[in-house]
Amino acid sequence: MGEADDLTVLREGAEWAPAVALAALHEREVQVCYAAGHPLVVVLMDGAVYALDGRCPHWGATFVDSPLRGNAVRCPLHGFRYDVRSGAATWPEGWPPIATYATRVDDGVVYVQTRWRREGVVGGHHQPGRPA
């Protein structure tokens, strides 16, 4: 999964890319993966699947080995924190948010809307078992 040419069109012309198997996600654990060659963080939290950029916008560090602190991932370089549900910076205050992406689950695979390829698409999340 996650090859640059592995885009899937699922509905209304939106581009979706497979990111990770739903079975690989564990509640409140950060999963770093790639969708269409783009680094992402995917988190299963309270039954919902969230996806956000896999690199801190401050200096570009990855969130590998970044456990959740509350509802936020923490950058290993300088401690910047981002809420996985909204992308909002929780520390430092006033810092711009990180990009989030819509997710959906289809046949046990988490797909992420490839907004970085198409401007103007709003991010969101998917709750498994509910219509996307």
pLDDT in tens, 42-63: 999 999 999 999 999 888 888 8
pLDDT, residue 92, reads: 93
Domain boundaries, given as residue ranges, for the chain: 8-116
For the stretch 65-118, pLDDT in tens is: 888 999 999 999 999 999 999 999 999 999 999 999 999 999 999 999 986 544
pLDDT, residue 14, reads: 58
Report the SS3 class of residue 23.
helix
Pick among 3.40.50.1100, 3.40.50.970, 2.102.10.10, 2.60.120.590: CATH of 8-116: 2.102.10.10
DSSP 35-55: ETTEEEEEEEETTEEEEEESB
Binned at pLDDT 50, 70 and 90, residue 27 comes out as: very high
Q: Which residues, 6+ apart, have CB-to-CB distance to 96 below 8 Å? A: 57, 89
Closest C-alpha among 74, 89, 60 to residue 30: 74
